[in-house]
Structures are given as C-alpha cells and as structure tokens.
C-alpha cells in the first residue's frame, strides 16, 4: 500500500510539473499577448512614440464611424450562428438518435470537418454570388437573365451569409462532440423510462437527455461561440463591409501603414475581448433561462404530444436541419473544383465552355510554395501536439481529471480557443519582433501549436481516458516496463484515435489565418493566406485552384491516417 501511494504521489508530482510546463508553452503566450495590448490601448508604447498614458486610443475607437453597428454585427452573428447550429444538432439527434442513421450521416459529414473555413466561404461565394452557379442554373430559362443581376446575396447587409457559412462548419463539429458526450450517458435507458411515463421520443430527448448532455458540450459550444464572434478569414468574404464586423475593423487598424493606428488597434482588440466576454455571458444567461423553462415544463408534466403526432415529418425536418446546410456547403466546394479546371466559363453557361489547367500552371510557383509551407507547418505542429498530448495523458491518469479527485484540470490548455485571436496575436507579434524571432518557421509552428494542441487533446483525450488498465496489468505481469507497455500495447491498440487526432491537428493548422499573417510576418505564405489574397481580386480560376488544394491536403492526410490505422489493425489481427 505504501509503495502504491508513493507511486501515485510521484505520478501526481509529474503531472503537476507537466501541467506547468505545458501551461507555459500553450497558455502563457496567450496571456502575455493579451496583456501586451492593454498598455498600448492606453497610449503607452515608447517604440511608437507613446510615452504617456492616455485615453485617446479608446476615444478613437468610440469615435470610429459605425463602430456600434460593427459590435452589434459581431454579437448577433456569433449568437445566431452558435444557437442555430446547436438547435439543428439537438433536433437531429432528437428524431434520429434511436433510428440508427446517425453514424452514417456523421461519416458523410466528416469531410467537412477537414475543410478550412475560408474554403467553405469561397465555395458559398462561387455558389451564391450574382454570377454564381445557382444564378447560372436558373438563367436564362427561369430568370430571364442574360447578364448577372445587379443585386447580390453574398455578402449581405445583415450577415446572413456569414451566419450560414459558420453553420456549415460548426454543425459537423458540434454533432461529433455531441456523439462523444452521448457515449458517456445512458441516453437509451432514460428515453425508455420517460416513454413509459407517457412522454414521446422527441419530448423525452428535449426534456431529459438534452439537459444532461448540455454541460458536457459547454466547452465545445464556448469554443464555437468565441470563434464566431472573432472570425476573420470567413468574414473577409461573407461579411458586410459597410460597416464590417469588429474583428475586421481591428485587423484593418493593425494593417494601417500609419504606425500610430496601432494604438487604436490595441484599443479595438481590448474592446474585442470585452465583447467576447459579454457574448459568453449572454449565452450563459440564455442557457440558464432555457434550463429554468425546461424544469418548469417537467414539473408541470407537460408532454408536448404535438411533437409525436407524426414521426415522419419530424424525422425529415431533423435530418434536413443538418443535411441541407452541409449539402449546400459541399455543393459550393464542388463548384470551386470546377472553377479550378475551367478555361472559359461565361454567364449564363451552366458549365465551362472550355476546360483546362491554366490556373494551375499560371500561379504554380506561389501556389505550390504555399502548399509546401502548409504541409511543413501543419505536419510539424500536429506531430508535436500529438506527442505532447500523449505525454500529458500518460502522466495524468483519468482519476485526476474526473471524479472526486479533481487535482488536475485541463481548462488552461483551452485558453487559446477561448480568447479572440485578434486580441493576443498583436502582443505576441511585438514580443517576437523584439526577440528578432518573427517570420521563422519554428515560431510559426509554435504559434500554430497554440491552437492545434487543444483540438488534439479534445479529440484524443477521451479515448485515452477510456483505456482498460487491465491490459497494462497483463503487460506488467509479463515484466514489461511503463515505456515498453506504452509502445508495444497502448499505442498499437489506440492507433485509430491517435491517427485521427493527428489528421485533425493538421486540418486545424491548415485553416489558421491570423496566426500565419501575424507571426509569419508576411514572409511565410500558406494556402489559407494565399486564398484570402486571391479572393480579394484575383481570377476565379486561380482562387478555385487554391481552394482545391485546401480541400485536397487535409483530405489526403485523413486518408493516410486511415490507411495507417487500417494497416496496423489488419497486421495485428493477422498476427
């Protein structure tokens, strides 16, 4: 017993040491970068001539034309995109959870998880703009248009296109997180019990399962909410410009050739942190109000029999709430692929009049350089994050993460996802410039690691915590040490979630825009930065080629990861 307690104490000590080390590598730069914008926001930054504290930068933000419209646009689009995505996922699970089609649809939606946000935005642009494929499809037979109409759907003045684009990306993510949470709940038993009390399957889900699932999804929902309120790359294409969301205004101040605008940008970034906090508080208040309403419904015995009158229309509605946005997003990706091989495609032709690969050859140098940089940075950051997560999970047994002994917490590792990127990357850039480390591959990989590590931990952590320790006991009984048991037993058995986490890490890295332009200093281009640049005025063929590569690389990594895991599992089975 004494030896066991000594081992547990040593394990806890190592876990605390690993936690502080990882905290310094992951959360430390975020905190330092956020603090780095506070002082310039109040006018003090000697390298730019600010030698006295002042409220002038804050006043400049408040006096900016249309600033409150920008704040409202960011707030409303974030709450609506997150709320609608959550509602669609819950309604889909309510009608389909017990019908066996959930896993199939998740597999069908999985490719959308690997596609960067900017790629979805470009696809919707190709689909919904005045000369987009939908307008071509109905012209001139139905619409009478021989030329593109003068009005446009993308972007719109209310941010509807941005909300829809965010939903296309966040619905598959929240659905995957919801299924992971459901694996830890006896949902089938709860529904069976509530149905025996006179509740229908949909009302049973809404009143019993969803309230118990919501706390397990809170972290994922907050990550989505913070991303939506601070999104930049997708907003550059889908958001209105008169005025733009707050994140785009802050970015424009940071990119202003007049260096004195950096003070205004810092104040704007500080406002963005406050806005993110207000958005989270509003979400938590709405969540609390919904909980009170649901408890009152249960207390008064309201069974919502109307939801159970006809199951087929409800099933159709639940499936369409998830499938329709994702299908439109996938259709936009298909149109992007067509543009990448189109030579001549005049309006209102439904398909190109001439096909070719001129877009791939015309911009081949910059495009392939961006692809190589994306692969190098993405694979490096994903591999490092995977190794760090494995070490962390090995040093922190599940008993220390959940249950009664909550001595270790993983929340600090998610700080990079819970703080707007625009709010701390400027401070991080200043630190790197001061150390003469900006524009280097090593620092860019580290900056990507800040965001890749939390997602790898989020995807691999639950599978690692469910490990059956009896397999370790068998290995120990055969004389294998801890490292040998890890290499020869645990890693081969967990090869599928490990390779999936590696692919997810690469997809996250490939989609990062702000960290690349701030830390890369404009000297390291990736496919995401190249796509944003091309979207601002280049030909559609070149933009289509860039988005095609953006789709292909993460998908290729996922296929390679799947092939490695299948090969390993088949080899284990044959042995």
Phi and psi of 342, rounded to 5°? -95, 130
Helix (H, G, I), strand (E, B) or coil at 344: strand
Distances (CA, A) of 124 to 323, 366, 421, 424: 16, 24, 24, 30
Helix axis angle for 56-63 and 261-299, nearest 10°, is 70
pLDDT of residue 475: 76
Alpha carbons 390 and 497: distance in angstroms, whole number: 11
pLDDT of residue 231: 93
Question: Cα(first)–Cα(last) distance of the chain, in Å?
Answer: 38
pLDDT of residue 180: 83
Alpha carbons 136 and 353: distance in angstroms, whole number: 13
Residue-by-residue pLDDT tens, the chain, 575 positions: 454 455 555 656 766 777 778 888 888 888 888 888 888 899 888 877 888 888 999 999 999 999 999 999 999 999 999 999 999 999 888 888 777 667 777 777 777 888 899 999 999 999 988 888 888 888 887 877 888 887 777 888 889 999 999 999 999 999 988 988 888 888 888 888 888 877 777 888 888 889 999 999 999 999 999 999 999 999 999 999 888 999 999 999 998 888 888 899 999 999 999 999 999 999 999 999 998 988 888 787 776 665 565 567 777 888 888 889 989 999 999 999 999 888 888 888 888 888 888 878 766 667 888 999 999 999 999 999 999 999 888 887 654 555 444 445 778 889 999 999 988 888 888 888 888 888 899 999 999 999 999 999 988 988 888 877 777 777 778 777 777 888 888 888 888 889 989 999 999 999 999 999 999 888 899 999 998 888 877 678 888 888 999 999 998 998 888 888 777 666 654 44
Alpha carbons 382 and 387: distance in angstroms, whole number: 9
pLDDT of residue 398: 54
List domains and CATH numbers for the chain.
10-36+64-356+363-568 (1.10.3720.10)
Copy the structure tokens of residue 490. Answer: 């645990």
Write the burial class of residue 444 (CB in 10 Å: 0-12 exposed, 13-18 middle, 19+ buried): buried
User: Whose CA is closest to 97, among 201, 217, 215?
Assistant: 201
Q: Which value, to the nearest 10 degrees, does the dihedral of the CA atoms of residues 245, 513, 443, 525 take? A: -130
Write the burial class of residue 152 (CB in 10 Å: 0-12 exposed, 13-18 middle, 19+ buried): middle
In the chain, the largest separation of any two C-alpha atoms, in whole Å, equals 85
Q: What number of other Cβ atoms are within 10 A of residue 393's Cβ?
A: 21
3-state SS of 7-52 is HHHHHHHHHHHHHHHHHHHHHHHHHHHHHHHHHHHCCEEHHHCEEC
Contacts for 192 with CB less than 8 Å, ≥ 6 apart = none
Give CA angle at 363 (358, 369), nearest 5°. 135
Q: What number of other Cβ atoms are within 10 A of residue 55's Cβ?
A: 12
pLDDT of residue 569: 63
pLDDT of residue 378: 95
């Amino acid at each position: 017993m004494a030896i066991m307690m000594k081992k547990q104490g040593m394990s806890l000590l190592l876990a605390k040491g690993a936690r502080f080390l990882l905290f310094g590598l992951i959360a430390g730069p975020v905190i330092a970068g956020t603090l780095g914008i506070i002082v310039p926001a109040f006018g003090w930054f000697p390298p730019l001539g600010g030698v006295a504290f002042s409220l002038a930068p804050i006043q400049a933000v408040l006096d900016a034309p249309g600033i409150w419209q920008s704040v409202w646009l960011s707030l409303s689009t974030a709450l609506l995109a997150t709320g609608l995505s959550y509602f669609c996922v819950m309604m889909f699970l309510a009608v389909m959870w017990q019908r066996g089609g959930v896993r199939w649809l998740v597999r069908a939606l999985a490719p959308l998880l690997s596609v960067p946000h900017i790629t979805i935005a470009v696809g919707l642009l190709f689909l919904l703009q005045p000369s987009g494929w939908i307008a071509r499809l109905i012209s001139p037979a139905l619409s009478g248009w021989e030329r593109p109409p003068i009005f446009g759907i993308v972007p719109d003045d209310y941010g509807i296109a941005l909300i829809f684009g965010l939903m296309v990306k966040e619905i598959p993510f929240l659905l995957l997180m919801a299924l992971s949470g459901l694996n830890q709940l006896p949902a089938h038993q709860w529904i069976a019990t509530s149905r025996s009390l006179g509740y229908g399957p949909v009302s049973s889900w809404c009143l019993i399962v969803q309230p118990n699932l919501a706390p397990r999804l809170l972290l994922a929902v907050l990550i989505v909410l913070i991303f939506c309120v601070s999104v930049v790359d997708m907003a550059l294409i889908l958001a209105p410009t008169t005025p733009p969301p707050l994140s785009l205004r802050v970015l424009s101040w940071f990119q202003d050739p007049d260096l004195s605008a950096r003070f205004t940008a810092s104040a704007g970034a500080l406002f963005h942190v406050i806005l993110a906090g207000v958005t989270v508080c509003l979400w938590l208040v709405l969540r609390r109000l919904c909980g009170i309403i649901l408890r009152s419904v249960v207390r008064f015995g309201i069974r919502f029999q109307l939801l159970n009158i006809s199951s087929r229309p409800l099933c159709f509605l639940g499936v369409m709430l998830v499938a329709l946005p994702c299908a439109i997003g996938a259709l936009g990706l298909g149109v992007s692929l067509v543009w990448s091989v189109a030579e001549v495609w005049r309006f209102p032709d439904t398909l190109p009049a001439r096909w070719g690969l001129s877009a791939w050859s015309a911009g081949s140098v910059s495009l392939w350089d961006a692809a190589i940089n994306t692969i190098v940075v993405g694979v490096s950051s994903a591999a490092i994050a995977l190794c760090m997560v494995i070490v962390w999970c090995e040093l922190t047994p599940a008993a220390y993460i959940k249950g009664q002994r909550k001595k270790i917490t993983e929340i600090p590792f998610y700080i990079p996802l819970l703080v707007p990127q625009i709010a701390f990357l400027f401070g991080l850039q200043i630190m790197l410039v001061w150390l003469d480390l900006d524009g280097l591959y090593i620092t860019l990989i580290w900056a990507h690691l800040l965001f890749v590590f939390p997602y790898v931990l989020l995807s691999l952590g639950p599978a690692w915590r469910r490990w059956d320790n009896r397999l370790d006991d068998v290995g120990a009984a055969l004389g294998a040490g801890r490292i040998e048991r890890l290499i020869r037993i645990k890693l081969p058995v967990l090869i599928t979630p490990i390779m999936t986490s590696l692919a997810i890490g690469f997809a996250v890295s490939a989609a990062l825009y702000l960290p690349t332009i701030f830390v890369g200093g404009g000297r390291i281009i990736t496919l995401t930065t190249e796509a944003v640049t091309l979207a601002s005025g280049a030909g559609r063929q070149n933009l289509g080629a860039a988005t095609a590569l953006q789709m292909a690389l993460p998908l290729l990594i996922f296929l390679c990861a799947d092939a490695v895991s299948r090969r390993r599992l088949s080899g284990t089975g044959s042995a």
